[in-house]
Amino acid sequence: MNPFTALVARAAEAAPGTTDVPALPTAAWDIVSFLTNSMSYIKIAGGGLLMLMGVVSLIWGGVILLIKLFGSGQGATGQTSWMKIIMMIVIGGAIAVGGFSLVFTIGSGGKKTIEDLGGASIFFDSLPAFGSLFGLG
Nearest to 67 by CA among 83, 56, 53, 78: 78
Q: How many domains does the chain have?
A: 1
Give domain status of residue 19, yes or no. no
In DSSP notation, 112-126 reads HHHHHHHTHHHHHHS
Tens of pLDDT along 11-52?
666 655 555 556 656 666 778 888 888 888 888 888 889 999
Residue 27 covered by a domain: no
Residue 50 forms part of a structural domain: yes
Alpha-carbon distance of 43 to 120, in angstroms, equals 28
Does 11 reside within a domain?
A: no
**Model pTM above 0.85:** no
Phi-psi category of residue 119: left, alpha or beta, with phi > 0 → left and psi -120 to 50 → alpha: left
Q: Are 92 and 54 in contact (CB under 8 A)?
A: yes
Residue 132 lies in a domain: yes
Assigned domain for 14 exists: no
Enclosing domain of residue 63: 46-137
